[in-house]
Amino acid sequence: AQESRSFASVIEPWHRAHDANTTLRMLDEHEQRYPRGIMRLESRVLRADIYLAQAREREALVVLDGLSLTGIPRARELQTTRGELRIKFGRCADGKRDLNEVLVKGLADAQAKRAVQALSRCP
């Protein structure tokens, strides 16, 4: 319960005012307090989202690389983003693996279109 309350206080400045600096500082404190907590995945996804919103793509990729996306609600979206970033930063094989998995799960939505576009940039 304490961890959940802590995480709720962390996301408030982000959701209320998109205050990235405050949220990242609070996220650092939360992750230090609960390094193996039940909100660890949500914490990492929030960090990646903030980095992406700040155009800190390399840092977002480091976070996304460390996550298993299987079975989480935004898995396909995050896998698309991770695949795009991997390709952007010269990791075509890794990016292709992510994006081909996205395409296996659907061919006619926005994620699929992004995946096809990103795949076209890889030999």
pLDDT at site 119: 96
Q: Is 70 exposed, middle or buried (0-12, 13-18, 19+ CB in 10 A)?
A: exposed
**Which sign does the torsion angle of CA 10, 11, 17, 23 carry?**
positive
pLDDT at site 11: 95
pLDDT at site 76: 95
pLDDT at site 106: 83
Cβ proximity of 95 and 83 under 8 Å? yes
Supply the DSSP string of the chain, one letter for each residue.
-HHHHHHHHHHHHHHHH--HHHHHHHHHHHHHH-TT-TTHHHHHHHHHHHHHHTT-HHHHHHHHHT---TT-TTHHHHHHHHHHHHHHTT-HHHHHHHHHHHHHT-SSSHHHHHHHHHHTT--
Q: Which amino acid is at 60?
A: A
Q: What is the pLDDT along the chain (123 residues), one digit of tens a residue?
A: 899 999 999 999 999 999 999 999 999 999 999 999 999 999 999 999 999 999 999 999 999 999 999 889 899 999 999 999 999 999 999 999 999 999 998 888 999 999 999 999 998
For residues 59 and 56, what is the distance between their CA atoms, to the nearest angstrom?
Answer: 6
